[in-house]
Amino acid sequence: MSELETESSARKGGRRRLQRLRERLSYDDPDKRLIGEIAEQVAEQRIARDLSQKELAELCATSQPAIARLEAGARPPRIDTLQRVAKALDCELEVRLRPRTKTREEKQVEK
């Protein structure tokens, strides 16, 4: 099998893994949902840019198994890791805190 065929096969495998990840992750748990969403976005962006996990790892100065773990949603990624991945994928990393409850100020305005 040529190197090109091997890379193409690896990318198809990545798409199948992404589909299995979507099916496997529990979106009932907010923490798992966030990790799963991050994993999904990394895999989608990597595939959209026609990169193998190994190629993305090289761009991020990390290992292919580290990218595989990130895409599998195996554990929460570190912010610095996400920054390197976002840069390698030419994406903007956006982290937000959204209040789940009203602040004291918002409660006082309602009165």
How does DSSP assign the chain, residue by residue? Answer: --HHHHHHHHHHHHHHHHHHHHHHS-SSSHHHHHHHHHHHHHHHHHHHTT--HHHHHHHHTS-HHHHHHHHHT-SPPPHHHHHHHHHHTT---------SS--HHHHHHH-
In a domain, 100, yes or no: no
Q: How many structural domains are present in the chain?
A: 1
Average pLDDT, whole number, for the chain? Answer: 85
What pLDDT does 61 receive? Answer: 95
Q: Report d(CA 22, CA 91) in Å as an integer.
A: 21
- Domain span holding position 72: 3-92
108 in a structural domain? no
Q: What is the mean pLDDT of residues 12-31?
A: 66
In a domain, 98, yes or no: no
Best mean pLDDT range from 1-5, 19-23, 50-54, 96-100: 50-54
Predicted local confidence at residue 91, as pLDDT: 97
- Looking up residue 76, the CATH number of its domain turns out to be 1.10.260.40
The percentage of residues in the chain with a pLDDT greater than 70, rounded to a whole number, is 79
* 109, part of any domain: no
Query: Does the pLDDT at position 9 exceed 80?
Result: no
In the prediction, which pLDDT does 49 show?
A: 97
- The tens digit of pLDDT for each residue in 33-81 reads 889 999 999 999 999 999 999 999 999 999 999 999 999 998 899 999 9
